[in-house]
Amino acid sequence: MTTSRRKLIAGNWKMNGLKASLAEALAVAEALERQPCTERVAICPPATLIAPMAQVLQGSQVQVGGQNCYTQPMGAFTGEISAEMLADAGASLVILAHSERRQFFGETDESAAEKVRAALRAGLEPIVCVGETLDERRAGRTLEIVARQVRGSCPPELRGCVFAVAYEPVWAIGTGLTPTLEEIEQVHGAIRGLLAESLAEAGRTAPILYGGSVKPSNARDILAASEVGGALVGGASLKADDFLGIIRAAA
């Protein structure tokens, strides 16, 4: 099985976590050391914790990722962090264009594509997020919106690269609501078609993660759905026990 065919279970801590929270990441790593899993596991903490988390998790099965990066490698861009800086701090992945970035920080498909190029330049594996709002779903526009986001946010440079796409319906994030398995399979199938069409082999094999209210209790069914190549987990990744429950459900 190639790296890209293994499921990827990634935790997005969002703007949560202080130094004391490193204990949760360490608990995940230690549990996986005692009982290894075949999936890939990553935690994406706030930028302040990337370096110390990478240190704590060194030699473990758990990779560390960023939640965003700027397009330029360095320079006079106060407050921004480059992909190169994330890599230097110990990250090997980066979440890009999360719906909260799109919603609160004006990110677009164009800026997402630029950031994907920046991530690749720095040797990071991008996790590109897409997903419709509740209004868009109610209007029957889910596939149209997701297709536009995939086309606009996944540039041709991804051909030949290791990357992931995360389908996260905005209305499912932090709400406890999830689409039906059929709805997830429909969107993931559509994303696979688009990626395969535009990105050749890389597009055929990139894992398509599902995100939005994934918990230990629903993870098994979701992760077994067709074209679901992993999960991007918010709230339930903050506690080692919950995150481990999801990781174990992937097996």
86 versus 233: smaller Cβ distance to ligand 13P: 233
Q: By C-beta, is 98 or 102 nearer to ligand 13P? A: 98
Out of 98, 107, 132, 188, pick the active-site residue. 98
Q: Report the residue number, 70 or 167, with the smaller CB distance to ligand 13P.
A: 167
Instruction: Verify whether residue 84 is a known catalytic residue.
Output: no
Angle separating helix axes 240-249 and 22-34, nearest 10 degrees: 40
Which structure tokens are listed for 191? 């994303």
Residue 161, C-beta contacts closer than 8 angstroms, at least 6 positions apart: 120, 125, 202
CA gap 24, 57 in Å, rounded = 11
Closest contact distance (angstroms) between CB of 36 and ligand 13P is 24
Minimum CB separation of residue 10 from ligand 13P in Å reads 8
CB of 78 to ligand 13P, least distance (A): 26
Residue (of 169, 161, 232) closest to 203 by Cα position: 161
- Which tokens sit at 137? 């779903």
Q: Which residue number has the CB closest to ligand 13P?
A: 234
**Residue 111: beta bridge partners?**
none
Catalytic residue among 24, 168, 188, 227: 168
Coil/strand/helix, residue 19: helix
User: Can 168 be counted among the known catalytic residues?
Assistant: yes
Q: Which is nearer to ligand 13P, 84 or 170 (CB)?
A: 170
**Under the rule (CB under 6 A), what is the footprint of ligand 13P?**
12, 98, 168, 173-174, 211-214, 232-236
Element (H, E) at 166: strand 164-167
Closest approach, Cβ 197 to ligand 13P, in A, equals 26
Distance between CA atoms of residues 212 and 46, nearest Å? 19
Active-site annotation, residues = 98, 168
